[in-house]
Amino acid sequence: MKIITFLSDFGLKSSYVSQMKGIALSMTDAKLVDISHEITHHNIYEGAFVLKTIIPYFPVGTVHIGVVDPGVGNSRKGIVVTTSTHIFVGPDNGLLIPAAKKLGKFTVYEIKNQELMLNNVSNTFHGRDIFTPVAAHILNGVYFDEIGPIIKNYVDLNFEITEIKNKIVMGQIIYIDGFGNIITNIEKYKIRPLLEYDKELIIFTGTKKIKLPFVKTYSSVKKGEALATIGSNDYLEISVNQGNASKLLNVKAGDKVKIFLA
Amino acid sequence: MKIITFLSDFGLKSSYVSQMKGIALSMTDAKLVDISHEITHHNIYEGAFVLKTIIPYFPVGTVHIGVVDPGVGNSRKGIVVTTSTHIFVGPDNGLLIPAAKKLGKFTVYEIKNQELMLNNVSNTFHGRDIFTPVAAHILNGVYFDEIGPIIKNYVDLNFEITEIKNKIVMGQIIYIDGFGNIITNIEKYKIRPLLEYDKELIIFTGTKKIKLPFVKTYSSVKKGEALATIGSNDYLEISVNQGNASKLLNVKAGDKVKIFLA
Amino acid sequence: MKIITFLSDFGLKSSYVSQMKGIALSMTDAKLVDISHEITHHNIYEGAFVLKTIIPYFPVGTVHIGVVDPGVGNSRKGIVVTTSTHIFVGPDNGLLIPAAKKLGKFTVYEIKNQELMLNNVSNTFHGRDIFTPVAAHILNGVYFDEIGPIIKNYVDLNFEITEIKNKIVMGQIIYIDGFGNIITNIEKYKIRPLLEYDKELIIFTGTKKIKLPFVKTYSSVKKGEALATIGSNDYLEISVNQGNASKLLNVKAGDKVKIFLA
């Protein structure tokens, strides 16, 4: 089974996403799956996080197209990133790399072969004119070395760098989900050895300091109460049971957090 | 043809829905159809209504996954509801039952068999870790009695209880659609014997009283005028032709309505 | 491969779109693709533009269902529009015609044959009860002349009429996309012979007058600066690099524009 996924900041009002799907269906019989098209406009960081979260769940051989692309039409490269299981196609701006890293070793090819693109490449929409036809050609059997040269100087975001010292964790908010849950860049495997369930921790954000129980799930506390938990993507998450934690703490993606473990 | 549908309150910004789809495509070649992911957060009642409305239109054998699940991770059960034609998978909180009832007799199985779940079940996302793999296993031929025991004490919402006496109908608003149409829980088969088209009726809401013509369709009245009609899902509906009835009457899902038939 | 696309103003909160998809999957094994369901309610003009933009990208034989239908249930006709490559199904209100025109010669059939519709046609939802089953029957091999008679007096919008005289172009805004890019009805082939890249032009809207560089892509100017370019759908577009041009100029779809070429 062939699968292409699509992630972008295009929204669903315009036809940009469906134009890409039309190309994909003109060239393959792949199944097409939307990851999200509501990434905050031009927010590569947020797009990279969302793309990374879906990686464990798709079958081997899936091709992922990511288009959060504020530099379209200028000199930024287009790339294909190959791993042992999944393939990524999109701009060379860091968007694809965290997802690829999660899969271990990876190789970055610059897209140079114009025969793999649409005949008339626009200056404003490479998702349709380059990335989607390249993804379809890959599913149809094109060899990676026909795409273009391997490059080493690709752009990276390094967005999972945290610091843990003396039971103080310095991290960052990388995502606010649709429920208002605050997802940090602090990974489960780093914090679980230091913290038991049902203990308390203290979180500082820019302007707020709050003591929270570290619990197994949202409903471990009463409706409306705040909590910290390991979210379903294995990051430390700050939530309010059936409420909106991002409003309570007045934070946004990109804000720093400092956590004191008791 | 295998079909899985998805209904949730996850929204489309996050990757939660696509994580479920990745699992589904890792286990089956089913066609995947979104019902809605914009159910008001944690509003089981609204989700149950929307799920019920699609039942007449899908082929026999469709498996529907519903995830409006404020109690995830606590002691609420996961269930599979089987009918003579469709199958439902989701939390035991009432979400699935109105749709199942519409299809006649149904049986509720508690999901107990851990072999049908993902290896690591999170505490916050049973839609991905339990309901989707169970749905896929069902399409792949698992017997219902391998899922778990039949239970009788499932949660029900009973949301279609109306009272009709002396040409006065007591009911409730169960949904406001994207156009602002107000959909009540008063079913066509109950009210049509009492009411002819082009007669008037009077509707009381909490604070407003309004006289409306009962007509065949929106455009039976002038643009901007209010009306009552039988909506496309066979419930009594209050609308404004090319306008927004919910703003006019200032009502929301859950509000009571009292209707005087002339 | 069979493909049905769906365009509507239904939004994604309600189940209207999925009810149509259920019908389509009950009758065919077509691939189903969403174009957009976030057309502004009842805005036929905007829907016609969006539908037109996707035409170059879908394979021959695709059937497109368009439902922006403020006149549903009154005397407006339902139509099928056939071209040499694509087929359109929807209301006779102008929605389908610009897309069909783009493909050259076309023929308009009125939908009259009740055997191609659902058994119980509602007064409020012809997208589900008429247009989707007709689309499925077409993919299943129904002859066009079984649908109903050819009609000549179909409704048209004529929305691409512009006037160019003495280097002054009179046009109209036909769409604001999700990024706030302002798309005019001035087509590339009309304006490119008159205008070179990196020249300036002056745009008058109702209340504002602004001088802009005409450039190849958004990032040809600095972040936050305004520009004019040929957008990815080959219309003249006014944008702000990584910003929102519609807020800057305070315009909306339907507004007139007057452009002075230097």
Are the Cβ atoms of B18 and A35 closer than 8 angstroms? yes
- Locate the chain A residue with the closest alpha carbon to B28: A1
Specify whether A26 is located in the same domain as A123: yes
Ranges of residues in chain B whose predicted pLDDT is under 70 = none
ipTM: 0.89
pLDDT digits (tens, 9 = 90+) for B182-221: 999 998 998 988 889 999 999 998 788 999 999 999 989 9
A-interface mutation test, from B6, B17, B123, B125, most A Cβ less than 10 A away: B123
pLDDT at C104: 95
Nearest neighbour of C179 by CB, restricted to A29, A41, A129: A41
Which tokens is C30 given?
Answer: 């077509």
Which chain A residues are closer than 8 Å to B25 by Cβ? 1, 3, 31, 33, 58-59
Whether B63 is in a domain gets the answer yes
Average pLDDT taken over every residue of chain A = 93
Q: Which chains touch C (3 or more CB pairs under 8 A)?
A: A, B
Whether C46 is in a domain gets the answer yes
Residue ending a domain, among A98, A113, A147, is: A147
Pair B179, B187: CB distance under 8 Å = no
Res A166 pLDDT > 90:
no
Alpha carbons C112 and C132: distance in angstroms, whole number: 14
- Strand, coil or helix: what is B22? helix
Residues of B with CB under 8 A from a CB of A: 10-16, 18-23, 25-26, 29, 32, 41-42, 70-74, 122-125, 128-129
Are the Cβ atoms of B33 and C32 closer than 8 angstroms? yes
Instruction: Encode chain C (262 residues) as per-residue pLDDT tens digits.
Output: 999 999 999 999 999 999 999 999 999 999 999 999 999 888 898 899 999 999 999 999 999 999 999 888 788 999 999 999 999 999 999 999 999 999 999 999 999 999 999 998 988 899 999 999 999 999 999 999 999 999 999 999 877 778 888 889 999 998 998 889 999 999 899 898 888 999 999 999 878 899 999 999 998 999 999 999 999 888 999 999 999 999 999 988 878 999 998 7
Q: Which chains touch A (3 or more CB pairs under 8 A)?
A: B, C
Alpha carbons A245 and A229: distance in angstroms, whole number: 12
Residues of C with CB under 8 A from a CB of B: 10-16, 18-23, 25-26, 29, 32, 41-42, 70-74, 122-125, 128-129
Specify whether C213 is located in the same domain as C120: no
Which chain A residues are closer than 8 Å to C33 by Cβ? 18, 21-22, 25, 32
Nearest neighbour of A18 by CB, restricted to C34, C217, C220: C34
Whether A180 is in a domain gets the answer yes
Helices (H) and strands (E) in chain C, counts: 7, 14
Alpha carbons A122 and C226: distance in angstroms, whole number: 19
Whether A132 is in a domain gets the answer yes
Specify whether B14 is located in the same domain as B85: yes
Res A159 pLDDT > 80:
no
Specify whether B12 is located in the same domain as B63: yes
Which chain A residues are closer than 8 Å to C230 by Cβ? 122-123
pLDDT at A228: 96
pLDDT at A109: 98
Specify whether C141 is located in the same domain as C171: no
Query: What is the span of the domain harbouring residue C242?
Result: 163-260
Specify whether C23 is located in the same domain as C114: yes
Specify whether C83 is located in the same domain as C191: no
Are the Cβ atoms of C218 and A16 closer than 8 angstroms? no
Which chain C residues are closer than 8 Å to A26 by Cβ? 57-59
pLDDT at C205: 86
Task: Cite the DSSP H helix spans in chain A.
Answer: 16-27, 44-54, 97-102, 126, 132-139, 188-191, 245-249
Whether C155 is in a domain gets the answer no
Residue ending a domain, among A115, A147, A179, is: A147
DSSP for C10-50 reads --SSSSHHHHHHHHHHHH---EEEEEES-SPTT-HHHHHHH
Largest Cα span, chain A: 61
Whether B34 is in a domain gets the answer yes
Q: Which amino acid is at A79?
A: I
Q: Between chain A and chain B, how many beta carbons pairs sit less than 8 Å apart?
A: 94
Specify whether B44 is located in the same domain as B169: no
Pair A155, A93: CB distance under 8 Å = yes
Which chain A residues are closer than 8 Å to B71 by Cβ? 219
Residue A17's CATH number: 3.40.50.10790
Residue ending a domain, among B120, B147, B174, is: B147
Which tokens is A18 given?
Answer: 């469906």
Specify whether A46 is located in the same domain as A168: no
Which chain B residues are closer than 8 Å to C22 by Cβ? 33, 54, 56-59, 62
HEC-encoded secondary structure of C79-148: EEEECCCCEEEEECCCCCHHHHHHCCCCEEEECCCHHHCCCCCCCCCHHHHHHHHHHHHHHCCCCHHHCC
Specify whether A17 is located in the same domain as A143: yes
Whether B153 is in a domain gets the answer no
Sign of torsion, CA C149 C112 C72 B176? Answer: negative
Q: How many domains does chain B fold into?
A: 2
Q: Which amino acid is at A259?
A: I
pLDDT digits (tens, 9 = 90+) for A184-211: 999 899 898 888 999 999 999 878 899 9
Residue A172's CATH number: 2.40.30.90
Are the Cβ atoms of C128 and B178 closer than 8 angstroms? no
Whether A38 is in a domain gets the answer yes
B-interface mutation test, from A10, A57, A216, most B Cβ less than 10 A away: A57
Specify whether B174 is located in the same domain as B242: yes
Specify whether A18 is located in the same domain as A115: yes
* Cβ contacts of A8 within 8 Å, gap of 6 or more: A16, A17, A36, A37, A39, A47, A66, A67, A68, A127
Alpha carbons C142 and C138: distance in angstroms, whole number: 5
Are the Cβ atoms of B58 and C11 closer than 8 angstroms? no
Pair B43, A79: CB distance under 8 Å = no
Alpha carbons C24 and B1: distance in angstroms, whole number: 12
Task: Tally Cβ neighbours within 10 Å of residue B204.
Answer: 15
pLDDT at C184: 93
Which tokens is C10 given?
Answer: 């239904």
